Amino acid sequence: MTLKSILGEGGYEVGVAGDVRQAREMLAAKAYDVVLTDLVLPGESGMVLVKEVRQKFPRIPVILMAGAPSKETTMEASRAGVVACLTKPVPPKKLLPAVHQAVTVRVPDAEGHPFA
């Protein structure tokens, strides 16, 4: 099963970007409740996307996936504001709760004020 099909069956509407450039375009065109990205992407790193989303769209929670994230990667992701770092392959029983929590927990803005 693909991530899109797992999330679709979980009741989520899913947009798919093939790289950071396409994700930027999608985020500029439509409001999203959560960003789920891989660390390794064609061209720019998923960490670049994480940092951009947190800077430009601070209310959108970000979930990062990685094959075997190092301690340094996990720490960098946490400092960048990732709400969850999932190890691939991500089973549906871990993916769906992580996405659900990300879209239901209020993300503070850049000044630390909770979403109103």
Residue 84 located in a structural domain: yes
User: Could you tell me the CATH number of the domain that includes residue 68?
Assistant: 3.40.50.2300
Residue 100 located in a structural domain: yes
Residue 93 located in a structural domain: yes
Residue 109 located in a structural domain: no
Q: Is the peptide bond before 114 cis (omega within 30 degrees of 0)?
A: no
Residue 34 located in a structural domain: yes
Tally of domains in the chain: 1
Residue 82 located in a structural domain: yes
Domain encompassing residue 59: 3-104
pLDDT in tens, 67-116: 988 899 999 999 999 999 999 999 999 999 999 999 987 655 556 555 43
pLDDT in tens, 27-58: 999 999 999 999 999 999 999 999 999 999 99
Residue 110 located in a structural domain: no
